[in-house]
Amino acid sequence: MKLRINDKEMDVEADGDTPLLWVLRDDLGMTGTKYGCGLAQCGACSVLVDGVVTRSCVTPLDAVALSAITTIEAIEETDLGKRVVEAWVRHQVPQCGYCQSGQVMAATSLLKETATPTDDEIRGAMINLCRCGTYNAIKAAMKDLAGTSETADSGDGLHLGAAEMVAGGAAVAAVAVAGTAAVRSKARSEKTGSEGDA
């Protein structure tokens, strides 16, 4: 049987009902696509078939014989795929990394369909499971890619020295009573060597 994978025609010797995942991993050595649940639920096995996210663990070869299959191994060969991977690195999305090839495939598919997805579209497309719980980082990376990152003005922030951070309840209570303005003033005076306004 001939398959078109990552823009290359490949001959595989397998029955038509063999799941695509096993041909990719066992026959072709493309181990970037992962086996997770085997039930098309987790998304670790996601590939793109004619640009559509497809669970390769339950997709028989017969169903994709005439299709263009894209795996994680080739995703960075496109500008969009490269941007997705760079955003994943920038937002430190991967932890154990096991599910991330599937997450990247889902992200690439969504962004190919719509360059500026809404929060609802991101939630609807990014449904793969992540056992490390990196969902917030995934959302941040997606919003970055969509150009809709929300950057809040956090001001000067609360500056505490190491001793204050470990001093316990009394120090925390003192900060709460004095308010952050006093703490900021103290931090500024220590930094500049002059007393600031409280």
Record the tokens describing residue 39, joined without a space. 């039930």
pLDDT range class, residue 191, cuts 50, 70, 90:
low
- Asked if the structure places residue 79 within a domain, the reply is yes
Tell which wins on pLDDT, 90 or 198: 90
Q: What sign has the CA pseudo-torsion 37, 35, 125, 54?
A: negative
- Asked if the structure places residue 64 within a domain, the reply is yes
- Asked if the structure places residue 19 within a domain, the reply is yes
Domain that holds residue 104: 2-146
- Chain-centroid distance, C-alpha 141: 6
- Asked if the structure places residue 53 within a domain, the reply is yes
| CA-angle at 112, arms to 110 and 116, nearest 5° | 70
Number of domains in the chain: 1
Q: How many CB atoms lie within 10 A of CB 198?
A: 11
- Asked if the structure places residue 193 within a domain, the reply is no
Mean pLDDT of 116-142: 96
- Asked if the structure places residue 178 within a domain, the reply is no
- Asked if the structure places residue 95 within a domain, the reply is yes
- Asked if the structure places residue 72 within a domain, the reply is yes
What pTM, to 2 d.p., does this model score? 0.74
Q: What is the pLDDT of residues 138-153, one digit of tens each?
A: 999 999 999 987 554 4
86 pLDDT higher than 70? yes
33 in Cβ contact with 101 (< 8 Å): yes
Tell which wins on pLDDT, 21 or 186: 21
71: CATH: 3.10.20.30
Q: Cβ neighbours of residue 188 under 8 Å, at least 6 residues apart?
A: 196
